[in-house]
Each structure stands twice: as structure tokens, then as C-alpha cells.
A and B are shown apart, each in its own frame.
Chain A
């Protein structure tokens, strides 16, 4: 049973950032803008958040510091994503190219800035992890569920689920969500009934920026002790989760859970007696999440639910 708890808790560490970033990508793509820049936005968010923690950790610690850092990450991600929004909405630039440029810019900018402002001149930014929760009071004592969800966690796990629920409600149950989806399916029709396509698409990209920025910090905090200008390709994996999840929040959560669990097996196989006894080289386990995703994609890609107007700049005069 302890192994099950351990696996589930580890899965959360991988799943939550993937899910949040993929949900961010969903908001951008459902509004009609392809956001391949998720990786770069995550890096900018992680950088800003860790830099904030690094400079404030003498004065404060614990959950409030993490919450403030998350806010900083979200704002940084949002500002950075506006570069993508401007290029792809106002300038009608190709969204893949502008996203690629941002992915290139983010690591270079963070390394450059870190080496410039840190007295030691190194690119890594260290932080002290004071955010780990060993056991949530009261809730942690509930049998089974307490062990699964309320022990060995970070507050970010709950934030992640809150974002999932709020995100799904906003997308399907509000006027804004309806407008957002209509801009991704048929912007001309949306414009005809008086919706500002540019405004909605800006909102979509900026929500994706805020969520991806937070996702960057949420990925770094449980898995590392410093920020080294990388999020290990998680932005691209989130893109895969988004497509695998067919642009639907609940399916995205499922896809992130699947990938997070596969990732956990590949990272923790040596502490699972059954897998250790199989005597397979570790590289096979490391490949499992990627191979599994490929296999699942083969069965799930036949009928793609991609937003119809995705990737096409909105042109008022188009016939």
C-alpha cells in the first residue's frame, strides 16, 4: 500500500504542471492561436518565480512566499505571452515561427540575466524549499484519501485541481467561454454578432501565458533545488498532452494523469521491487512515457477535435 501512495504522490508532481500548462495551451488554441511557445513561457515563469523566492527567502518562507511567487510567475508569463499575441493577432504573423522565436529567446534571456545580476556570475539560481507539506492537518488522517492526496504534497496540487475545475466552468458555462470557443471555430461569425475577435484572442493567449508561467514554477519547485534556465521540455510535452486530450479540459486532465504516471514509473522504477526484478535496463523505462504516448496517439488521432480556425490569423476582409 505504501508503494501505491508513493507512486500516486509522485504522479501528482509530474501531472500537475503538465495539466496546468496544457490547460493554458487549451485557452490559447480554443481562441484560435496556436501556442507552441509554452516551453519558453514556462521558462520565463519559472525564472521570475525562483528569482523572487531567491531574493525574498531571507524575509519570509512557507506557503505565502510560494503563493506570491506563483503570482509573479503568472504575471511574467502573461507579459511574455503578449509578444506572441502581438505577433500572431495584430501582425498576423505565422504563429509557429513567432512561438519558435519565443522558445529560443526565453532560455537565452534567463541565462543572460541570471549571470548578469547574480554576484557569483553563474546561471543557476538557488532556492530553499520551505514549501513541502508532510501532512495536511485533519484531512491527512482520513484513510486512503488522506494518504493519496493530503500527505507529501505541495499546495500547488490543490491549485492545479482548482484551475482544472474553474477552467472547465469558464470554458463551457460562461459567456466568455462561449465567445472564446466561437473565435476558435469561426471568427467571422463571431465578429458578425459583435464579438471582438482580437480582444478574445488576446485574452486566450494571455490566460495561456499566466497558466504556463505558473506551470513553470510548479514544475521547478518539487523537482529541483535550483533553476537552470530549463524546464526539461515540459512545455512541448504539455503540447502533446493538449492534443492527446483533444482540447477538452477533462480529457487533458486524463492525458496528464496518464503521462504523469508513466513518467513516475520511469523515474521511480528502481524503488518498485516488481519492476526492479525484471532486470531491464533503465533506458527502457525512461522511454516508456514517450512510447506510450505515441501508441495512444495512433488510436486517438483518427478524429481530431482541433479548433477549426486554429492557426489562421483573423482577417476581417476574408471571404
Chain B
């Protein structure tokens, strides 16, 4: 948490070897799936193959199923982007859960109360979700930049504070007493279908997935094509060196957290404005989407486009896992598979690290052999979280 040299080395610079990254992710996925299949074989040999086939193909069996894959993918892509973006600045945003539920509340509040907005209500609601999520992430950023408070700990605390705050606010403003949950949002507050209901009839797919794709592209551009993104990554590599190079590292850390929070907040808005009869329940449970986002970010190698595909993949096997219950399997097996994939992905990072090290080593040799060039220094000391 404080000094994640290996993590920063690879996650902050995935451009070093994109191809080997894709290969190692695929290998991790394969190991995870095989492990899941073995567990299914142990628990029910007769049905194992039928169940496993549902995991592999269930998400694609009908257009409706794939539409639902996109529906499940939308919020976890957004929280995944949030975690991945913070990773690039060497911040571990475990607080996406709190930012997500804050955004959800902002969206529902506008969706219920501001019916006079008409056709633009969904857009205003989504903007509110973004702002609520961003505001919730300011505090961990400020506390880290100015008081050296560990981001992981402040985020964990803010997850709980956010959950209780939302429960309190829902009860005070948009509460439906008999069902113990929030009131339904107005029709105009739901995200437009943007034609997806035609492509995937009867499914829960909405324009939310398009918003998520646009967000992933914008984040990729910010990180790879702008000075701001370069400064963020520099802070991720080595905060002290970035400061020495004239980058305002405190400002960048706070901004990185705000953007990460905004992404998670949009995720909350997209889920609760999806028009599928989903409400904020007043229960003392943290929003699981925030933690799914960590899996998505890790599987996507902290690359925005990678997170997009990782989110769709996890949603895909989740839909397959729901179908698998028909032949008597417990859908938790999907989480076991995901966990094994993440565990193997931790190994494959090492393999990528090894390749990256070999390349930098070769590069260093080259530089050293050229006359008059200073010897390449040992780049020690990762960023401090």
C-alpha cells in the first residue's frame, strides 16, 4: 500500500508490452475456468459439463442474454475504470463502493424530485451522480496529499460513512416506507435505450453501456494523450521525482481521486437509472459493485480499454452462472473462478515484469555502450500511497 514498486512498474506503464499482457490475461482466464470446471466435476460429475457449457456460452445464447451481459457490465466497467484510473497515480481506490452509492443517491434524488426538467432529466441526474461521487472522493485525496493519511484506510472508512449517509438521506428525502427502499424515478430520468432495445429485445440493456464505452475512451485519451495524464502517471511512478520535476503532486493526487470518484459515481447513476425496477434498499450492506471494480481493474491491467473488456467478460460469465443454476449449481462458482483468475493475474504481472525488465536492461546496455552518455541509473523507490 505504501510502496508498491512492482505494481506501479507494470500498472503505471502497461504500454511496455501490450501483447504479452493480453496473453498473460488469457492464460489467467484459462486457469480460472479450468479450476471452476474441476470444482464442478467434484460437486456433481453428471451435470458438470452441461453447467460449464452454460458458463462459456450462456451469455451469447440469445440476443436477450447478451443484452443482459451489457446491463451487468455497465456499472462494474465504471467502478473498474475508477479503480484503474487511481491505480495509475499509485492510489488504491478501495472506496469505489462509497462513491458508487453516493452517485446512485444523487441520480435517484434528481430522478424523483426534478420532474420539471423533462427530456434532459436523465442527463442532469447523471451529472449529479458524477458530482456526488467526485465530492465523496475529495476527502481521501486531500487527507493523503496534506496529512499523509493512507488512502486505503480513509477509503474503507468513507465506504461505511457513505453507506450510512445514503441510508439516512434516502429515508429523509426519497423513501418508500412499505418496501423500505427509495421511490421509483420518473420515466424521463431513465437512461434512453439508444436503440439497444431493438438490437437486444426483452433484455435490460440501455444506453448506459454506450456512456460507459465513451467514458473508457475519454479516460484512455486523458491518460495517454494529455499533459495532465502524463503528470498523473509521473506521480504514480515516483512522487518525489515528479515533485522535483516541477509537477504539483498534491494537486494531481487530489484530482486523480476526484476523477476516480466521478467515474464510480456515474456507475451508480447508470445502474439506478437503468429503468429495470432497481431501487436503493435501506440495508447496512456495502455496494458490491465497488469491489467488483477492483477485479475489473486488475483483470484489465489498469488499462481503460482493458477494463472495458474485463467488465464485459466478468458480466458474461455472471450471466452464464445465473443460467447454470438451472442444472443445480450454485452461482457462487463464478466468484470462485474470478478469484482464481485474479490470483493468477498477480503471477502473470510478474512474468510481464520480467519481460519489461529484460527490455529495459537491453535498453540500458545500449545506452551504456554509446559514447559520452551518462550511465543509466537504477530507478529505485516506487510511489508512496
> A interface vs B, CB < 8 Å?
34, 36, 83, 87, 91-94, 96-98, 100-102, 104-105, 107-109, 111-112, 115-116, 233, 236-237, 239-240, 243-244, 281, 283-284, 286-287, 290-291, 293-294, 297-298, 301-302, 304, 306, 310-313, 319
Contact = CB atoms under 8 A, between A and B. Distances in A.
Nearest to B337: A108
29 contacts: A92-B6, A93-B6, A93-B346, A93-B350, A94-B7, A94-B350, A96-B4, A97-B7, A98-B343, A100-B295, A101-B346, A102-B343, A104-B335, A108-B332, A109-B332, A112-B332, A236-B156, A239-B152, A286-B164, A286-B284, A287-B160, A291-B157, A294-B154, A294-B158, A297-B150, A298-B149, A302-B148, A306-B2, A310-B2
Interface string B314-340: 000000000000000010111110111
B2 A304 contact: yes
B223 interface: no
Contacts of A236: 94, 156
Contact of A101 (B39, B160, B334, B339): B339
Nearest to A117: B43
B131 interface: no
4 closest cross-chain pairs (CB), A and B: A108-B335, A105-B339, A93-B346, A101-B343
B153 A240 contact: yes
Contact of A283 (B5, B149, B167, B340): B167
Contacts of A36: 1, 152
A112 B336 contact: yes
Nearest to A108: B335
B339 to A, nearest CB: 4
Interface of B: 1-7, 39, 43, 92, 94, 139, 143, 147-150, 152-154, 156-158, 160-161, 164-165, 167-168, 284, 286, 291, 294-295, 298, 330, 332-336, 338-340, 342-343, 345-347, 349-350, 378
Given A34-B1, A87-B346, A93-B347, A105 B164 contact: no
B150 A105 contact: no
A311 B343 contact: no
Secondary structure at chain B's binding surface: helix, strand, loop or mixed?
Answer: helix
Contact of A319 (B157, B294, B330, B378): B378
Contacts of B143: 294, 297-298, 301
B338 A104 contact: yes
Nearest to A83: B343
Contacts of A34: 1
A310 B1 CA distance: 8
A236 B152 CA distance: 9
A98 B346 contact: yes
Nearest to A88: B346
Contacts of B148: 301-302, 304
Given A97-B343, A101-B343, 7 more contacts: A87-B347, A94-B346, A101-B339, A104-B338, A287-B165, A297-B153, A297-B154
A101 B7 contact: no
Given A91-B347, A102-B343, A111-B332, A96 B156 contact: no
Contact of B6 (A107, A109, A243, A313): A313
B343 A96 contact: no
Nearest to B144: A301
Contacts of A244: 153
A311 B152 CA distance: 14
Q: Which of A104, A109, A297 has the most CB of B within 10 A?
A: A104
B3 A116 contact: no
A287 B158 CA distance: 9
